[in-house]
Amino acid sequence: MAEPRRTWKQVLSRFLLLDLIKGLLVTFKYQAPKHCYTEQYPLVRPKVAERFRGAPRLNLDPETGESLCIACNLCAIACPEDLITVVEAVREYVDHEGKTKKKRVLVDYTYDTSRCMFCGHCQDVCPTYAIELTQEFELAIYRRKDFVWSWEMLEKGIEQPIYTR
């Protein structure tokens, strides 16, 4: 079948690359930041869902500043990945009536974030709300051994990096 004849307008448009220029104009028009539709992470941190479970944290008592963890070991037992290690000791103390009593205290706590599936069982069973999965999602690190968080790291949490252009 013979190709239909082009009008002089079509020929001129093709010669001057008008369609290409029109397309580029649309592209450049949407370069202004107000037309930005994609998430600007990491410059702008996305809001995660309220129920998101991320980096673990061992909470402190806001009044005393001491760990809320009573070393009951329930989180370690509940964890299907067996990645929490709670080391406890029994210490003697004198109560307000002057009686000597014994209590279990936390000696060490580690949490292997590389094996965690963030199921939340550990925080669900914790009787003192000590262990909590926070909304922090930046868990990437360079060295494999850094996946294991110490007690101190769990209390301090990870520092949120500040990204700049």
Residues 100-139 that bind ligand SF4 (CB under 6 A): 116-122, 125-126, 128, 130-131, 133
Q: Please report where in the chains the tokens 């061992």 appear, as a residue.
A: 58
Instruction: Please state the closest distance from residue 161 (CB atom) to ligand SF4, in A.
Output: 23
Q: What is the DSSP letter of 6?
A: P
Exactly one of 55, 57, 71, 153 binds ligand SF4 (CB under 6 A); which one?
71
Helical H runs in 89-150?
Answer: 121-125
**Contact pick of 55, 57, 83, 153 for ligand SF4 (by CB under 6 A):** 83
The nearest distance, CB 54 to ligand SF4, in angstroms, is 10
Is 86 a residue that touches ligand SF4 (CB under 6 A)?
yes
What per-residue string of b and e applies to 39-53 under the rule 16 or more CB within 10 Å gives b?
Answer: eeeeeebeeeeeeeb
H or E element at residue 148: strand 148-149
Can you tell me the distance from the alpha carbon of 94 to that of 100, in angstroms, rounded to the nearest whole number? 4
Q: Tokens 């592209």 map to which residue?
A: 27
> Under the criterion CB under 6 A, does residue 157 sit at the interface with ligand SF4?
no
Does 73 interact with ligand SF4 (rule: CB under 6 A)?
yes
Q: Work out whether 54 is an interface residue with ligand SF4 (CB under 6 A).
A: no
- Interface residues with ligand SF4 (CB under 6 A) are 69-75, 78-81, 83-84, 86, 116-122, 125-126, 128, 130-131, 133
